[in-house]
Amino acid sequence: MSTEKILLLDGNSLAYRAFFALPLLTNEHGIHTNAVYGFTMMLQKIMDEENPTHMLVAFDAGKTTFRHSTFGDYKGGRQKTPPELSEQFPYIRKLIDAYGIKRYELEMYEADDIIGTLSKQADEKGQQVVIVSGDKDLTQLATDKTTVYITRKGITDIEKYTPEHVQEKYGLTPLQIIDMKGLMGDASDNIPGVPGVGEKTAIKLLKEHGSVEDLYKALDTVSGVKLKEKLIANEEQAIMSKALATIETAAPIQISIDDLSYTGPNMEEVIEVWKELAFKTLLEKSDYISEESETTEVAFEIVEKIDSTILDKVMSVHLEMYDGQYHTSELLGIALSDGEKGYFAPADIAFQSKDFCSWLENATNKKYLADSKATQAVSRKHNVNVHGVEFDLLLAAYIVNPAISSEDVAAIAKEFGYFNLLTNDSVYGKGAKKTAPEIEKIAEHAVRKARAIWDLKEKLEVKLEENEQYALYKEIELPLASILGTMESDGVLVDKQILVEMGHELNIKLRAIEQDIYALAGETFNINSPKQLGVILFEKIGLTPIKKTKTGYSTAADVLEKLASEHEIIEQILLYRQLGKLNSTYIEGLLKEIHEDDGKIHTRYQQALTSTGRLSSINPNLQNIPVRLEEGRKIRKAFVPSQPGWVMFAADYSQIELRVLAHMSKDENLVEAFNNDLDIHTKTAMDVFHVEQEAVTSDMRRAAKAVNFGIVYGISDYGLSQNLDITRKEAATFIENYLNSFPGVKGYMDDIVHDAKQTGYVTTILNRRRYLPEITSSNFNLRSFAERTAMNTPIQGSAADIIKKAMIDMAERLISENMQTKMLLQVHDELIFEAPPEEIAMLEKIVPEVMENAIKLIVPLKVDYAFGSSWYDTK
């Protein structure tokens, strides 16, 4: 059997399809790009799916073809190709060449004929062929070995025509498609056919008679006087039409299948075309940044020590790690750049150089870094405290635009028009294929990064100044990076034994529940598979499906809770899920993250990731340790102070987001509520339900709380109705009552959305920005989402600003008070410390003081705190 797979594409037809399927896009030079883009998408998809060994794109050669000698008006009356499409053909050809795909055109013949001829040759050799076109005529070429793909509305949606599929669809063989065209004609090609005979009649006649020729031989048997007359009157025209519709399978082509072998794209050339056409999404998805990275040399040397002959007062430094998990990753080496020359010191000598270590520690030596937190954390492992950080590329880029959330220097640089370096993925590979190349490659890669940091510093600082964000960057994010680095390096001690014992108990319970569930279901299955569970619940047991997901029945907790009264298995499943989550994520997951050397967990805070300005925590995530349910909360017993006799001390902001909302909206009612330190949910219930404080029931307060959440999230009646399990109308009434009671909030929400539409972005108290390009979209969903984001981001982001400022003030205060207390964790609105008992009294004073005064709002900030012998006990 042949392993060859031949892909034949109809270039003209596909370009037309792409052109009309996509809106007119242009690049910055005003060249239209939609057809090229659509063509590219289709090409990528089809190559991904088919893995062809041979490929050809066939084009029509010119206006006149051999068919015109049969019928002068062939394709007559057809609209001229729009100039917006014509101008794109050169780019399509260029792209095909860059992909390394053969293309071919032949005087007097159409693309169809080239494809027909080649597919016939392949077919005869028993080779597998796939034909791709937007023109259904080509389905006549389908055989056992040849499948014809026809694009369906859009460009990447494809219908596959095998002879069987043609049969199903028309009741005809592929070759009879020609006869059908002969009878019914084809308006788009100006093929006349027999007037008055359409698709249905044509198919019916062919089913009975087989072909146009046989039909005319047996005209007597055709029923219907009119039809017979029409057929007789147009016999010649029918024969001619059939000939016109027949694809030539013996065109005098000068190429053969063997010439079409496909060995893969020249990505540099492809990228070049993409860049020319500004295909941003495709460029982003590709690992290749630019061919410039291949051409522009960066001068550097690999050194055997870093000493004063290299070091200068100002340099960019980059610690090249094997991966982003710098707490455990291997250091590969250190790159330095002075803006002209680069140096690379392999890992084994880098921190061995005394000159270099003291250079790092001396604040008068200014360093430009890509990621100061990582640099400081890794240096600290080598007992070096880095000072004099003057620039942090990662943070600067993130402040300019938080949508730039990549950690990859190349990806960041690209955003600012700097292409002279490669992504980590393209140097090391990704996934299972990841491996370190030879040291010279690593050195060059790292030096390019160091150079990029140097070259981008000024540009980014100018941007920050323009946006009035320099203070946010330099006075908040940059100092915070050092603090977070210290928190990460210090880590938090976790009592392994506590987790192990909880794990044992959980496993026993889980096994028992599992057996109960199997007994109730009457069979064993994988409870963790939503798919299998759905079958058991909704098909075997016959419960009523309430909600669906893309892939089947929803078995989410809120759905199951509604079914709990229908069958006792539900309760067991919910319990199984709850305990299973604890076991897999929080027992087994956390145990895996405990470092053997110190028994601690060292999370990593991602400081340049979220679109709102919050931090995130990974490997492991310590910002989502269970607290709401007692069983889960017990996990916190394992988080203990790192020194005997010390305590955990936790402080959290009370209602910080609603206080921020009060500040920003200046709503009098809300401001007054916080000035009087009211219970805000009770106060909201009073206003929404028009009752006195004494009359507020717990249900009313719960509803009011949900309304407050809704306000912060960017309210929608549907969302609230889902959350409270009430009708949309009731939810709408709640919202209306709320906005009438807090008119300043309504005004603020309207203004913020309006402003975002004008400027394209929203800002926080410290001038953090988030761009919302979709807020002017004509797509309702995209626009609505952007509008809710516009309402939520200033609130969530300002709260993030406040706690970040508090962390900086707190770290300073601990030093100035000469305290041993360590800040360990941040969980969005709370800070967790460990402290010697003699410092508790001081903490009780300074922690609330510092946090409450981090940033002055027009309402007071309020902080609650607690301490105890584990995180669990800080309540």
Residues present in the chain in total: 875
| Among the listed residues 85, 421, 706, 745, the single contact to DNA using CB under 7 A | 706
Largest CA distance in the chain: 112
Q: What is the phi/psi pair of residue 55, to 5°?
A: -145, 145
| Footprint on residues 233-272 left by DNA (CB under 7 A) | none
> What is the distance between the alpha carbons of residues 246 and 175, in angstroms, rounded to a whole number?
9
Residue 364 beta carbon to DNA: minimum distance, rounded to whole angstroms: 36
CA dihedral sign, ordered 548, 552, 557, 562: positive
Which one of the spans 387-395, 461-469, 545-553, 851-859 is the region binding DNA (CB under 7 A)? 545-553
Give the H or E element holding residue 833: strand 830-835
Contacts of DNA in 835-874 (CB under 7 A): none
Between 567 and 728, name the residue whose CB sits nearer to DNA: 728
> How many residues line the site for DNA (CB under 7 A)?
75
Look at the alpha carbons of 514, 517, 523, 525 in this order and tell me if their dihedral is positive or negative: negative
* Residue 328 interacts with DNA (CB under 7 A): yes or no: no
Q: What are phi and psi of 320, to 5 degrees?
A: -85, 115
Tokens at 237, concatenated: 């025209």
Q: Please identify, using beta-carbon distances, which residue of 210 and 868 lies nearer to DNA.
A: 868
DSSP per-residue codes, 252-288: --S--GGGGB-----HHHHHHHHHHHT-HHHHHHSS-
Residue 796 near DNA by CB under 7 A = yes
Instruction: Point out which span in 38-46, 346-354, 461-469, 786-794 binds DNA (CB under 7 A).
Output: 786-794
Residue with tokens 């601990």: 814
CA distance 826 to 845: 19
Angstrom distance (rounded) from CA 301 to CA 319 = 16
Q: Shortest approach of DNA to residue 190 CB, angstroms?
A: 39
Token code pair at residue 320:
């090249």
Q: Which two tokens stand for residue 563?
A: 């079914």
Among 53, 167, 261, 578, binds DNA (CB under 7 A): 578
Query: Nearest distance from residue 860's CB to DNA, in Å?
Result: 18
**Looking at 101-109, 213-221, 702-710, 815-823, which segment touches DNA (CB under 7 A)?**
702-710
Q: Is the Cβ of residue 119 or residue 572 nearer to DNA in the bound state?
A: 572
| Bridge partners (DSSP) listed for residue 35 | none
Nearer to DNA, 210 or 626 (CB): 626
Min dist CB 560 to DNA, Å, is 7
Reading the block at residue 756, the tokens are: 């975002």
Its sign, for the CA torsion 142, 147, 148, 152, is positive
CA 281 from chain center: how many Å? Answer: 11
Cβ closer to DNA: 237 or 329? Answer: 329
From CA 95, how far away is CA 513, in angstroms rounded?
A: 59
Q: How far is the CB of 613 from DNA (least distance, A)?
A: 9
Residue from 523, 597, 780, 816 binding DNA (CB under 7 A): 780
Q: Is residue 788 a contact point for DNA (CB under 7 A)?
A: yes
The CB-of-375 to DNA minimum distance in angstroms stands at 20
| Interface region with DNA, contact rule CB under 7 A, candidates 202-210, 372-380, 413-421, 576-584 | 576-584
Nearest distance in Å: CB 70, DNA: 48
Q: How far is the CB of 604 from DNA (least distance, A)?
A: 8
DSSP 8-class letter at 363:
T
Computed from CA positions of residues 835, 837, 838, 843, in that sequence, does the dihedral angle turn out positive or negative? positive
Interacting span for DNA (CB under 7 A) from 36-44, 706-714, 741-749, 864-872: 706-714
Shortest reach from residue 444's CB to DNA, in Å:
26
Q: Looking at 137, 179, 392, 829, which residue binds DNA (CB under 7 A)? A: 829
State which of positions 607-666 bind DNA (CB under 7 A).
609-612, 614, 616-621, 623-629, 632-633, 652
Residues 497-536 within binding reach of DNA (CB under 7 A): 526, 528-532
Any idea what DSSP says for residue 351? Answer: T
Q: Is 733 in the site for DNA (CB under 7 A)?
A: no
Q: Which is nearer to DNA, 58 or 711 (CB)?
A: 711
* 556 touches DNA by CB under 7 A: yes
Residues near 570 by beta carbon (within 8 Å), at least 6 away in sequence: 537, 543, 560, 561, 563, 564
| C-beta neighbour count of 727 within 10 angstroms | 11
Identify the residue among 438, 550, 694, 758 touching DNA (CB under 7 A): 550
Calpha distance 28→841 (Å, rounded) = 63
Query: Which of 723, 733, 853, 869 contacts DNA by CB under 7 A?
Result: 723
Structure tokens at 388: 């004099």
Q: Is the dihedral of CA 623, 628, 629, 631 positive or negative?
A: positive
Beta sheet of 822-826, edge-to-edge order: 822-826, 830-835, 647-653, 863-868
Binders in 587-606 for DNA, by CB under 7 A = 588-589, 592, 606
Selected from 216, 518, 689, 785, the binder of DNA by CB under 7 A is 785
Instruction: Quote the least distance from Cβ 487 to DNA, whole Å.
Output: 16
Segment interacting with DNA (CB under 7 A) among 243-251, 270-278, 464-472, 720-728: 720-728
Chain residues 414-443 in contact with DNA, contact rule CB under 7 A = 430-431
Structure tokens at 646: 């010390």
Looking at the Cβ atoms of 173 and 532, the one nearer to DNA is 532
Asked if 775 and 757 count as a contact pair (C-beta separation under 8 A), the reply is yes
Local structure of 522: helix, strand or coil: coil
Return the number of the residue (63 or 628) whose C-beta is nearest DNA.
Answer: 628
Q: Which is nearer to DNA, 452 or 847 (CB)?
A: 847
In the complex, least distance from residue 430 CB atom to DNA, rounded to whole angstroms: 6
Q: Which of 88, 554, 572, 741 binds DNA (CB under 7 A)?
A: 554
Stretch in the footprint of DNA (CB under 7 A) among 70-78, 154-162, 511-519, 551-559: 551-559
Q: Closer to DNA by CB, 341 or 705: give it.
A: 705
Question: Whose Cβ is closer to DNA: residue 623's or residue 853's?
Answer: 623
Residues 755 to 774 in contact with DNA, rule: CB under 7 A:
none
Q: Which of residues 19-78 bind DNA (CB under 7 A)?
A: none
Member of 318, 451, 474, 577 binding DNA (CB under 7 A) = 577
Phi, psi of 395 (to 5 degrees): -70, -40
Place of tokens 């009157």: 233
81 by DSSP, 3-state: which?
Answer: coil
Beta carbon nearer to DNA, 54 or 577: 577
- Give the range of 56-64, 90-98, 508-516, 586-594 binding DNA by CB under 7 A: 586-594
3-state secondary structure of 160: strand
Scanning residues 357 to 386, which ones bind DNA (CB under 7 A)? none
CA–CA distance, 53 with 102 (Å, rounded to integer): 12
Q: How far is the CB of 301 from DNA (least distance, A)?
A: 36
Residue 158 binding DNA, by CB under 7 A: no
Nearer to DNA, 507 or 643 (CB): 507
Q: How far is the CB of 1 from DNA (least distance, A)?
A: 25
Nearer to DNA, 825 or 857 (CB): 825
Q: Closest separation between CB of residue 638 and DNA, Å?
A: 15
Which of 298, 569 has the CB closer to DNA? 569
Q: How far apart are CA 427 and CA 484, in angstroms?
A: 29
Beta bridge partners of 833: 649, 823
Q: How does DSSP assign 612-647, residue by residue?
A: SS--EEESS--S----SSHHHHGGGGGEE-SSTT-E
821 binds DNA (CB under 7 A): no
Question: Do the Cβ atoms of 445 and 337 come closer than 8 Å?
Answer: no
* Amino acid, res. 642: S
Token pair of 274 as six digits: 């993409």
